[in-house]
Amino acid sequence: MTYLLGLIVTLGLLIVVHEYGHYRVAVACGVKVQRFSVGFGRVLWRRQSAPGATEFVLCALPLGGYVRMLDEREGGVPPEQLGQAFNRKSLKQRSAIVAAGPLANLALAVVLFAGAYWVGMQEPKAVLGPSVAGSIAERGGLRSGDWVRAMAGDNGNSEWREVHSMNDLMWRLTQAALQREPVRLQVSDRDGRGSRTLLLDLASFEPREVDGALARKIGLGTAFGEPVIGRVKEGGPALRAGLKEGDRVLSIDGQAVADAQTLRERIRASAATAARGAKDAAPQRWVLEREGRSIEIEVTPRIDGSVNPPVGRIEAFVGKPPEMVIVRHGPWDGLVGGFERMWDTSWFTLKMLGRMLIGEASIKNLSGPISIADYAGQSVQQGPARFLEFLAIVSVSLGVLNLLPLPMLDGGHLMVYIFEGVTGRAVSEEWLARLQRGGIAVLLLMMSVALYNDVARLLGLH
């Protein structure tokens, strides 16, 4: 129910704002608006203040909306209302009306991002776990427990920008990876002691690899967590071995354990050396720190064959959660940050679409309504700031998508008006019909790919 409610609120708000942008500018330009519709299909609710006034309706299929304006191309117009017809307005006015919808979404995104910053978002601190062996991160010198404090481009004149959280770090690395730009990181240990500068050479990174698994492809560890045992379950291998809540794991079979990620990986990997069909893995020698003293015990993980490949488990909570920070800005800084985030997200979206078009980025990055519903539900559960951020990201996507130069979209209409402004003549009806058919085909293809990606993610194929 939470997921459905989140989807309804998301689509409803963004559609209303988009269409209101068209409506408000149309009225300001003296165009008669006949209907303001949220959704398509059967009308569920309508309101009209007076005969001849704008009719506001809510329809059964809430996957879009429209503003119907008086226009001679769509039917007869009484002589006394010709001055209110859309097609009679100047090129500048028509362009402003069409552009107002996407721009309203982008303006809304600024406010939503700012609202998220004002409320404050709880995010993992940018302290990293161990880097993947042989990866870009390891070659750059990143170690477990490194706290990334600031980031800059490889250009010596590039300005250092503070890294507020793990999410902030990943967002900036994603942008740099897409452009194949090396970056410099300023890091300290997780307590803030010492400082050194590292270089991540993303020049060799393929843009098509930019996706949700980017962190692992670069070789970054997850957010650092201490290798401490949490609650121990009754009857499991951990309890039988004598593990207690609060035990800190120092090593397993003589190999140091620096963080929670390493501890989990060692436990899971224990199944790989077990005999086929065995219920238990080989015993492991653990060195622990308990109440200030070092002790050694033997732990025999259970093999979980319900997953492929099988993994080892000890039936206990493994590792402390990552340290969290509150990312919050004041009124002005929040607004400036909201605008910067909107601009960066818009530009990133355009670059991703361009890369996908020429085959340099994976089309798996396209998402449809199922993914939107899933993300909406998750963000609602994570709190108001996270939901505001999610709404802002979708609002940017809607604004940018509608500005693409495709017939049937606002950007397609703007391209037609640019042609009219340059040549001094309107595009013929015959060509408009051809362009619209092509635009519909492209949109249907994009929707099909997005829906396929949704289903593939749902089935675990991506």
Q: State yes or no: cis peptide before 309, omega within 30 of 0.
A: yes
* 324: phi then psi, degrees, rounded to nearest 5: -105, 150
Amino acid code (one letter) for 425: R
Spatial contact of 222 and 142, defined as CB atoms under 8 Å apart = no
**Residues contacting residue 232 through CB under 8 Å, at least 6 positions apart:** 238, 239, 243, 244, 245, 315, 316, 317
Distance CA 181, CA 201 (A): 7
DSSP-derived pairing of the beta strands 293-299 and 55-69: unpaired
The residues annotated with a catalytic role in the active site are 19
Q: How far apart are CA 128 and CA 142, in angstroms?
A: 8
Name residue 284's beta-bridge partners: 299
- Comparing CA positions, the residue from 6, 9, 28, 7 lying closest to residue 17 is 9
Query: What would the two tokens of residue 177 be?
Result: 């990876």
> Is 401:366 a contact under the CB 8 Å cutoff?
no
* Closest by Cα among 33, 51, 35 to 43: 35
- Hey, what long-range contacts does 216-219 have (CB within 8 A, 24 or more apart)? 216/132, 218/135, 218/136, 218/137, 218/173, 218/177, 219/131, 219/132, 219/134, 219/135, 219/136, 219/137, 219/138, 219/142
For residue 204, count other CB atoms closer than 10 A to its CB.
8
- Say if residues 87 and 73 touch (Cβ distance below 8 Å): yes
